[in-house]
Structure 1
Amino acid sequence: MMISMQNDDTEFIDAVAVAVADRIMPQLEVLVKKYYTPDQGLNQQQAASMLGCSVDTLKDFYYYQPGFPHFKKGTKDSFSQKALENWMSDNQIRA
């Protein structure tokens, strides 16, 4: 069975395809950035900045939270940016 399309049908389909692409591209860009961007190692100052606190608060409060993502890199504490983002998302207090 052969289906023939009129020029108007092709133009309509193309217009729909462009509209769909325009709607989903921003969401795809966010997902690509989130899941396909290489992880970045953070120092204490950068991690504290992400949390919106001082380095002292980071050391005194956050280090002791269950599952708080930090590790030693040599003699210094380091943080995975993605692990910290996930921890922050999982540990938000919702009103």
Structure 2
Amino acid sequence: MNLFGADFIEAFHQMLKDVLKKVIEELLSDIADDEKFLLNRKEISAAIGCDVDTFDETYRYLPGFPYHKKGRSEAWNRKEVFDYLHKNKLVK
């Protein structure tokens, strides 16, 4: 026994698909932005909450500290750095 008509069920199904598709696309876009975004030394220092000298002395040269080469310079992914700090209990 079906309480709703076929047209209602089809319209509801389509609306649900549209809403879920939009939410998933937004989430994937946010993830893609976070994954691709590389910060320079000054920006990653500010994200961590320290000055560049403290970043160099305390974090930058730790074994396994994540970085990417960008030409001749280094760049850091915010998510990777915070994951590393959390995993190694170096969170302020």
For Structure 1 versus Structure 2, the TM-score category normalised by the shorter chain is 0.5 to 0.7
**Superposed displacement of residue 43, structure 1:** 1.8
Cα distance, 1:24 vs structure 2: 5.3
User: Which consecutive unaligned segments of at least 5 residues does structure 2 have?
Assistant: none
2:40–2:76 CA contact under 8 A, matched in 1: no
Aligned counterpart, 2:75: 79
Do 2:59 and 2:65's aligned partners in 1 also have CA atoms closer than 8 Å?
yes
Query: 1:25: how far off?
Result: 2.6
Query: What is the Cα deviation at residue 20 of structure 1?
Result: 4.4
Q: How many residues align?
A: 83
* Whole-Å separation in 1 of the counterparts to 2:38 and 2:71: 10
* Structure 1 match to 2:16: 19
In structure 2, distance between residues paired with 1:66 and 1:25: 40
Cross-structure match for 1:55 = 52
Per the normalisation by structure 1, the TM-score is: 0.60
Larger Rg: 1
Moved over 4 A (4+): none
**Is 65-74 or 44-53 further displaced after alignment?**
65-74
How big is the alpha-carbon RMSD for the aligned residues of Structure 1 and Structure 2? 3.1
Select 1:42's aligned residue among 33, 39, 44: 39
TM-score (norm 2): 0.61
